[in-house]
Amino acid sequence: MKIETALKVSAGLVVVVMSLVATIPYLLEVRVQSAMADLTVVGQRERDFLALRNLLRDAETGQLGYVVAGKEEYLRPYYAALDLLPVAIGELRGKTLNDAERASFKQLERAIEVRLASLEQTVRTRRERGFDAAQALVSTYAGGSDKAQIETLRTLTAQQVASNAERRKELRQLAINSARFAAHLGLAATLANIAALAATLLAANSALRRRHQAERSARNAAEALELSVQLTSVRNEQLAGGTELMHALDLAESVDESSIIISRYFGRLLPKLSGSLYLYRNSRDILERKAQWGAEKDDCGTLELLDCWGLRKGGQHFAEGEHALQCRHCDQSHVASPRLCLPLVAQGDVIGCITVVGQELSGEVGAQRKQWIVQLAEQVALALSNVQLRLKLRQQSVIDPLTELYNRRYMDEVLKREQLRANRRQSPLSVILLDLDHFKRVNDTYGHDTGDLLLRKVGEVLRNSIRAVDVACRFGGEELVVILPDCDLAAAVQRAEAIRAAVAGIDIRAKGQLVTVTASIGVATSSGQSDEADALMRCADAALYTAKQSGRNRVVSALSTEAPNGVTAAAERLESPQPRQAEQAES
């Protein structure tokens, strides 16, 4: 017999048997459903009574806390309970099943109203008359009405709970009896269907095969779920690490420090991937690699805009395989490795790019990882933009815009700091004070634009003539200052002479004429025993005054008779070369 025929015969027998017993199970089902519905209502009433008791307890707790502490915030549970009690009472009123329960519940409602009125009076007394009056009222209630109210509520609630328990017991017994009847009926139906099962044995093989297939599908689903859990765990770790990265970047003080932070966090968050961070130079013509992480070191040190497809497109570029569109900065020996290039865009401006390379960028997991890297790159771009903005604002606050030297405020801070450091180390600290000769005449003759150009040229001379530890500042007008830590008087005078000669070599053309400038320079040195930076500046200013009075275009060190306490006195004045003819004529 074919499987289809056996199934038809067995199905026919089952239909006949089940038709005979269909009426009784139907009636039984109605009975069980009714019992279960009632049991559900009873269970809900029990939960509602529990909620009602909790609300009353919250109201009493809030009232008691307010009476003791007198703080309005302690009344929050009290007012919350007052708002929810009408709802809870309404829910219970709608679930009463008979007249006895309704009568008992009305008594409970009245008891609750009396109890709430007592609590409200206590709260009002505490608010209007203070703690002593409220305590006296509570003590009065505790001796009489409160105790009676609580006892009444407890008794009525216990009656309701007992009624619910009795009803639940009856409904459970009804369900048990119905289940027993259903079991007997099911046994009879089973015996009747045994004959039909024989016809289904031939179809068991097919059913088993389908079951095995379902099991395989279940295993595949379990593996997919496990993979999803792993991805979720990794995602959570990435989110936490990304948050830490953004917080660290918010605290960074420079672009170099930000690059180090990015390198370390990317190396930790992407342990199996390599990459580089590129940022534009100030000239905006080329990008420099500021950070690198991972095992593969195939990116070049610098790249131009057209070297990266991501920068060309202004968006992410992913290349995988030998036939993919590869960037020029990619090492040709690593073209088989998947690579992701991400421009760093902040407020519509491209500030750099990030490259990420590694096999983990492939497949479904790689797609999710790429999506997260793109999101992280967007946050990094904004953070780097903020760092650059902070640096720009900080630089604007301490840099003189005309000469690009440090301004007077920064000079005062550095001079005080270096003076204290020199005192601690017992090391010399020198100051060069430079003033351009007859600068007002240049402005009056050739205009302020020419004067500004000369000041810029002098500022450039100072920047090119000092050490990395020296600080060149614009003191004001045409007066410039150079602070030289760990520099004695002889070395400072030698440095000043080189600056004087470089300034004298400046010439520009204005109105068809050759314009030159000379400088008078005063030098002073602290011996490391004075704690006053102003004394050092006064000494240098005195030396500058002597240079002016001695014919200009020369370097004069501080004389012993003019040196304040702690400032090295040097009875030495360097003989400077003769001024130019134009300077002699002006003198």
- Report, as an integer, the average pLDDT of 333-356: 82
Most confident option among 64-78, 325-339, 468-482, 550-564 = 468-482
- No. of helices (H) and no. of strands (E), the chain: 16, 14
Most confident option among 11-25, 61-75, 151-165, 559-573 = 61-75
Handedness of CA 230, 231, 235, 241 (dihedral sign): positive
More confident residue, 15 or 123: 123
Domain interval for residue 148: 3-198
Indicate if 387 and 426 belong to the same structural domain: no
More confident residue, 582 or 284: 284
Pairing of strands 429-436, 471-476: unpaired
Indicate if 104 and 191 belong to the same structural domain: yes
Indicate if 387 and 425 belong to the same structural domain: no
More confident residue, 259 or 34: 259
Indicate if 58 and 193 belong to the same structural domain: yes
**Which residue in 266, 286, 285 sits closest to 277, CA to CA?**
266
Decide: 329 and 292 in contact? Cβ < 8 Å.
no
Locate 111 and state its tokens.
């008891």
**Which residue in 387, 412, 403, 398 sits closest to 534, CA to CA?**
412
Indicate if 496 and 417 belong to the same structural domain: yes
Average pLDDT, the chain: 78
How many CB atoms neighbour CB 122 within 10 A?
A: 23
At residue 505, the 3 state secondary structure works out as coil
Residue at which a domain ends, from 366, 396, 426: 396
Q: What pLDDT does 543 receive?
A: 95
Assign residue 462 the CATH number of its domain: 3.30.70.270
- For residue 213, tell me if it sits in a domain: no
Q: What percent of the chain has pLDDT over 70?
A: 74
Decide: 334 and 386 in contact? Cβ < 8 Å.
no
Indicate if 278 and 168 belong to the same structural domain: no
Decide: 335 and 322 in contact? Cβ < 8 Å.
yes
Q: What pLDDT does 457 receive?
A: 92
Q: What pLDDT does 572 receive?
A: 37
Q: What pLDDT does 183 receive?
A: 67
Assign residue 380 the CATH number of its domain: 3.30.450.40
Report pTM. Answer: 0.43
**Which residue in 108, 111, 58 sits closest to 82, CA to CA?**
58
Q: What tens digit of pLDDT does each residue of 43-74 get? A: 777 777 778 778 888 877 887 787 777 777 87
Residue at which a domain ends, from 158, 174, 198: 198
- Report, as an integer, the average pLDDT of 410-425: 90
- Report, as an integer, the average pLDDT of 555-566: 56
Indicate if 442 and 336 belong to the same structural domain: no
Indicate if 287 and 147 belong to the same structural domain: no
**Which residue in 572, 395, 410 sits closest to 496, CA to CA?**
572
Decide: 412 and 376 in contact? Cβ < 8 Å.
no
DSSP 8-state secondary structure symbol assigned to residue 580: P
Secondary structure (DSSP) of 187-234: HHHHHHHHHHHHHHGGGHHHHHHHHHHHHHHHHHHHHHHHHHHHHHHH
Q: What tens digit of pLDDT does each residue of 297-326 get? A: 666 778 888 888 888 888 888 888 777 788
- Report, as an integer, the average pLDDT of 98-106: 75
Pairing of strands 317-319, 302-303: unpaired
Q: What pLDDT does 270 receive?
A: 83
- Report, as an integer, the average pLDDT of 14-23: 66
- Report, as an integer, the average pLDDT of 540-555: 94
Indicate if 493 and 519 belong to the same structural domain: yes
Q: What pLDDT does 17 receive?
A: 65
Structural domain count of the chain: 3
- For residue 401, tell me if it sits in a domain: no
Assign residue 164 the CATH number of its domain: 1.20.120.1730
Decide: 98 and 62 in contact? Cβ < 8 Å.
no
pLDDT(571) > 60: no
Residue at which a domain ends, from 347, 367, 396: 396
Q: What pLDDT does 268 receive?
A: 84
**Which residue in 322, 334, 320, 377 sits closest to 354, CA to CA?**
377
Q: What pLDDT does 296 receive?
A: 72
Indicate if 376 and 279 belong to the same structural domain: yes
pLDDT(573) > 60: no
Q: What tens digit of pLDDT does each residue of 113-158 get? A: 877 887 787 788 877 888 777 777 776 665 555 556 566 666 766 6
AA letter at 356: V
pLDDT(234) > 70: no
- For residue 239, tell me if it sits in a domain: no
Indicate if 442 and 339 belong to the same structural domain: no
pLDDT(386) > 90: no
Locate 362 and state its tokens.
């492939």
Indicate if 391 and 412 belong to the same structural domain: no
